[in-house]
């Protein structure tokens, strides 16, 4: 029904249990202290595509996607030497409260996902509203011998108590080495132990009371507590970006399994990174692209969705402004075609093309192949326009590109770029004078402005 590549087993597997009509998916959600860039947003396209494919087979997908509004991205010194809450730091920079920051960027994230036609999750629990769940889970882990409290009020997970640690990422405990610039932490029994709860010396916006004293949760415990609460002890698929495999998902798996006594997640599925102009998208490199940047450039946000579909979810891709612009042109062309085909006599959808596209989606979300088939259908003159109309709209439930957007709209009147009218007039005169070198030069100049000129017996035309 749908096969996805399982990171833990290193092979594509069917993610739907035999006879099941419901699939449960947990997706690691955003940390809401800044706008999500298009690289961040790629991770959330994965569960959306999964839902669209399975719904066509009559399987309901229940998605839980947390909101990390406690910004401790790191729970130990190896990752964040200061341990400063990212939301508090951003609140200080913007002169707002931590709650205002979290809710503002949470809503911005939600709006971005809607613009990409990513369907809202069924559950979106917030970390700050789930502290009691985390405390309860930590207490269970201590009781079962998987965690221990330190003298400063922190609680650590005992990594050595979970023998199968490393099955997702391949990072086994016996091979892990302490960071070469990290001072040994005397609170830990083993250097790879991680904090479930971190003691705090002073009260603040992001601290809570606990049986171990004032403090705040570690990052990994948040997802374990919320996934078990909203999806139960048997979760079919856990999705997220490739960067979360270690340590986040290894730690999460250890916590959840140690709490309930069995494997909670059946399949771990990860999406690859995006490069932009050949470099990792990051604020430090100055190549962060937001969805609002795409809109400001006059491009449809769904052009980003189409550009992402040109690569399989687990392939690294290099996004550029040229690829987004090309996707925008394709999207507009398809919408125009669909609106044109809508005027033709009705005809049944083409089941051969529909079956081929569906099969590509079900084969580990092979969206590049699905798009190639859609382009083939677009060019296939043997298929009546009415049938192409029905088939495109039928398949758009999978692609999510709003291909019916132009139906009923008046035809768009093309507008020439500045200076193009004069060049067209000069070229017409050059052709009358049979000055072919000048005619060719002016054609090239028009092409550089985005104007395509075609010569006909009645004279030149342009698009």
Dihedral sign computed on CA atoms, order 379, 330, 241, 238: negative
What does the angle CA 223 – CA 228 – CA 232 come to, to the nearest 5 degrees? Answer: 145
What is the side-by-side order of every strand in the sheet holding 215-217?
147-149, 155-157, 194-199, 215-217
Query: Is 167 labeled as ligand-binding?
Result: no
Q: Is 425 marked as binding a ligand? A: no
Q: How far apart are the first and last CA of the chain?
A: 44
Alpha-carbon dihedral of residues 253, 254, 256, 262, nearest 10 degrees?
Answer: 90
Question: Residue 31's beta-bridge partner residues?
Answer: 68
Provide the 8-state DSSP code for 284: G
**Bridge-based pairing state of the strands 235-241 and 22-27:** parallel
Establish whether 223 is an annotated binding residue. yes
Question: Checking DSSP bridges between strand 155-157 and strand 194-199, what pairing results, if any?
Answer: antiparallel
Cis bond upstream, residue 247 (ω within 30): yes
Cα–Cα distance measured from residue 298 to residue 321, given in angstroms and rounded to the nearest whole number: 12
- Is 399:309 a contact under the CB 8 Å cutoff? yes
Encoding tokens for residue 267?
A: 């399949």
CA atoms within 13 A on the CB side of 166: 13
Do the beta carbons of residue 75 and residue 247 sit within 8 Å? no
Query: What is the distance of C-alpha 454 from the center of its chain?
Result: 41
Give the three-state DSSP class for 317: strand
Q: How far apart are alpha carbons 388 and 187 in whole angstroms?
A: 66
Residue stretches of the annotated binding site: 28, 223, 248, 252, 283
Residue stretches of the annotated binding site for Zn(2+): 28, 223, 248, 252
Residue stretches of the annotated binding site for ATP: 283
């Amino acid at each position: 029904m749908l096969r996805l590549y399982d990171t833990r087993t290193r092979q594509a597997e069917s993610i739907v249990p035999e006879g099941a009509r419901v699939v449960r998916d947990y997706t690691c959600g955003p940390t809401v202290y800044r706008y999500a860039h298009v690289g961040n947003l790629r991770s959330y396209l994965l569960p959306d595509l999964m839902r669209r494919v399975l719904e066509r087979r009559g399987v309901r997908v229940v998605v839980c996607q947390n909101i990390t509004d406690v910004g401790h991205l790191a729970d130990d010194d190896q990752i964040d030497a200061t341990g400063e809450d990212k939301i508090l730091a951003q609140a200080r920079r913007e002169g707002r409260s931590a709650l205002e920051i979290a809710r503002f960027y949470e809503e911005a994230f939600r709006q971005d996902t809607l613009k990409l036609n990513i369907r809202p999750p069924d559950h979106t629990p917030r970390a700050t509203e789930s502290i009691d769940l985390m405390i309860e889970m930590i207490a269970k882990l201590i009781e079962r011998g998987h965690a221990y409290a330190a003298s400063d009020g922190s609680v650590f997970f005992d990594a050595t108590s979970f023998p199968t640690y490393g099955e997702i990422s391949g990072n086994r405990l016996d091979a892990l080495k302490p960071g070469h610039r990290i001072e040994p932490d005397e609170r830990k029994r083993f250097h790879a132990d991680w904090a479930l709860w971190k003691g705090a010396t002073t009260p603040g916006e992001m601290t809570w009371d606990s049986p171990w004293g004032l403090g705040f949760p570690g990052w990994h415990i948040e997802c374990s507590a919320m996934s078990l609460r909203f999806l139960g002890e048997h979760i079919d698929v856990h999705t997220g970006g490739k960067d979360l495999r270690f340590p986040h998902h290894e730690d999460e798996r250890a916590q959840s399994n140690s709490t309930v006594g069995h494997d909670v997640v059946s399949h771990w599925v990860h999406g690859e990174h995006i490069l932009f102009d050949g470099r990792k998208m990051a604020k430090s490199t100055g190549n962060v692209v937001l969805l609002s940047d795409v809109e400001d450039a006059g491009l449809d946000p769904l052009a980003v969705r189409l550009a992402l579909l040109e690569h399989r979810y687990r392939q690294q891709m290099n996004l550029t402004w040229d690829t987004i612009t090309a996707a925008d042109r394709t999207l507009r062309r398809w919408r125009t075609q669909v609106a044109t085909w809508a005027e033709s006599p009705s005809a049944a959808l083409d089941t051969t093309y529909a079956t081929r596209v569906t099969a590509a989606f079900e084969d580990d979300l092979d969206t590049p192949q699905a798009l190639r088939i859609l382009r083939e259908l677009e060019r296939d003159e043997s298929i009546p326009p009415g049938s192409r109309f029905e088939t495109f709209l039928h398949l758009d439930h999978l692609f999510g590109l709003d291909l019916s957007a132009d139906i009923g709209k008046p035809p768009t009147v093309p507008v020439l770029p500045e200076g193009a009218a004069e060049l067209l007039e000069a070229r017409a005169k050059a052709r009358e004078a049979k000055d072919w070198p000048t005619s060719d030069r002016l054609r090239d100049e028009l092409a550089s402005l985005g104007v395509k000129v075609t010569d006909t017996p009645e004279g030149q035309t342009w698009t």
